[in-house]
Amino acid sequence: MSDDLLIQTDGAVGRLRLNRPKALHALNLGMCEAMLAALETWRTDATIAAVLLDHAPAPDGDPKLSRGFCAGGDIRLLSESGAGDGAAARAFFHTEYRLNHRLFTYAKPIVAFMDGVTMGGGVGIALPCRYRVATENTRFAMPETGIGLFPDVGGGWYLSRLPGRIGQFLALTGHRLDGAEAYALGLATHYLPAAALAEVKAAIVAAPQGIEAALAAASVTPPAAGLLDHRADIDRLFAADTLEEVFAALEADGGDFATEQLAVLRTKSPQTMKVSLRLLYDGGLMQSFADEMVQEYAVACRVVQRHDFLEGVRAVIVDKDNAPRWNPATPEDVTDHVIDQIFAPLPEGEAWTPN
């Protein structure tokens, strides 16, 4: 078993602890496989009543290494694979999405502690859980359009179900929510001070049938959710399901908020912004989470081998010049035909399946 994931049982509670502090606990294939295996073992184990999902503290106590619950997935692996035959990237997505689905359908209660950076793949393992705890340290985002990717791991399902057009705003801009905002939007079920987490986890271990009571007892009133001050602006400016219309609305508005969001969108991949809008439109119509993952897998298998993802990783993660050269460079140049190709179902035998 890899040290990247700590698996243990504590009384009647199964514990999954992400343990890659120098990578902000970003998921790799081995971690996903190990979590799937543990969940399968506990599923039929009558002695296990609940599961806790969190990150292990940094071994040397360095606060900088304790900033993340889970910062995402193994982007370097995906990029290196995408530049070749894409086989390793497909294998990672296939397993990661099975983990997302397993968490979504798990019968026993799971508590995810989103204490720190919760982005991309971290969102994918937190949101399916029955209980989702935010703190003052939570930084929640789906920032994928900035590297030529899209909000996968169920993003099309979750974001499309947020109030108004907030999901579209988050998908396009990659805006970071704090814990209070995540709670206000229902992305978190509870808001706790980080200092209370150890005591709450101990209470759950002592009485796993009393999870709701333990979380409620430690919950505090969160600060005001600042993003909701812009709710009307977001619903109006991001009302369209076509990227060109969103840009037009932002350009025509001229206000500070619109101007700020327009500047943000001009740094993102036009191709994957269009992919994201299509994903949320389709996601709102999906009849099951499994259907969502089938589509996201087909899209991910194609996007990971396209120019914008490889270029985005180069600019943001490898060279760190933060000057990606997107191709196509403008929303108008991303044709409907290209988007349709990206969203086409995979051939039978290649498509994602939950088991």
Active site residue 72: no
Active site residue 73: yes
The catalytic residue among 14, 68, 82, 121 is 121
Alpha-carbon distances of 85 from 93, 109, 313, 327, 351, rounded to whole Å: 14, 39, 17, 20, 17
Phi, psi of 64 (to 5 degrees): -65, -25
Number of H helices and number of E strands within the chain? 16, 10
- Beta-sheet pairing, 177-178 with 139-141: antiparallel
Residue that the structure tokens 């990661």 belong to: 96
Beta-carbon neighbour count of residue 272 at 10 Å?
29
Residue 309: closest CA among 340, 271, 344, 261: 271
Task: Supply angle C-alpha 163, 168, 173, rounded to 5.
Answer: 125
Alpha-carbon distances of 227 from 41, 75, 230, 247, 252, rounded to whole Å: 41, 28, 6, 20, 21
- Beta-sheet pairing, 68-70 with 117-119: parallel
Active site residue 33: no
Dihedral of the alpha carbons of 165, 169, 170, 172, in degrees to the nearest 10: 130
The catalytic residue among 96, 115, 144, 178 is 144
**Beta pairing partners, 77:** none
Residue 111: closest CA among 135, 128, 124: 128
Active site residue 152: yes
The catalytic residue among 74, 152, 282, 296 is 152
H helix or E strand, kind and range, residue 201:
helix 197-206
Write the DSSP assignment of 219-239 as a string of letters: --PPPP-GGGGGHHHHHHHT-
Residues recognised as catalytic:
73, 121, 144, 152
